[in-house]
Structure 1
Amino acid sequence: MEIKCGLATPSDLLGRSAPRLLRNIIGKYGRDEMKPSIETAKKLANALEVSLDYLVGDAELKVFDKKTLQRIEDIEKLPEEERKVIYKVIDSLLRDAKTKQAYA
């Protein structure tokens, strides 16, 4: 399983304080020497705050952190008129930020 967590090595996500055995297991996942169960992979994805698709390298779209995904899901649950207002505000803020970057 190729781990895409943006760290120097997969075991870096645990830090030096993690038990050596646990660091070795995570390293084996990263080197495809060992495959985690689906439950273990889900827990690892949750700990890294990424989707399971992203963790295994199958995500085709840009992957967002869990907070961003939750915000999108919350917005989608709102009535259409409220969603339109929120997206209009977001679009305005994005336009302003892009303009600011262009002239910086």
Structure 2
Amino acid sequence: MTLRVRQLGEGGKTGFDKQTLKLIDEIEELEPSIKDKLLFLANAIIRDAKTGKAYAG
């Protein structure tokens, strides 16, 4: 799994806070198998949050 970083101006966000940048750096340093599992879980949580928001609104 590859982490895709947005270009400036793409998707509405133009920057990340220091905590997010530190987390991204730490994820990039992990072993590929651990990184893949972490990104899989993060994607599942984000997907579920978006689904819940869609049904709540």
Once the two structures are superposed, what CA deviation does each residue of 1:13-66 show, in whole Å capped at 9, x if it has no partner? xxxxxxxxxxxxxxxxxxxxxxxxxxxxxxxxxxxxxxxxxxxxxx82520000
Alpha-carbon distance between aligned partners in 2 of 1:60 and 1:95, rounded to the nearest angstrom? 23
2:38 is aligned to: 86
TM alignment of 1:14-33, pairs within 5 A = none
Q: Distance in 2 between matches of 1:92 and 1:64?
A: 21
Bigger Cα Rg: 1
Corresponding residue number in structure 1 for 2:23: 71
TM-score (ref. length: structure 1): 0.42
Query: Gaps (5+ residues) in structure 2?
Result: 1-6
State the number of aligned residues.
46
**Offset of residue 97 of structure 1:** 0.2
2:8 pairs with 1:60: yes
Structure 1 segments of 4 or more deviating over 6 A?
A: none
List runs of 5+ in structure 1 lacking aligned partners: 1-58
The alignment-based identity, stated in percent, is: 37
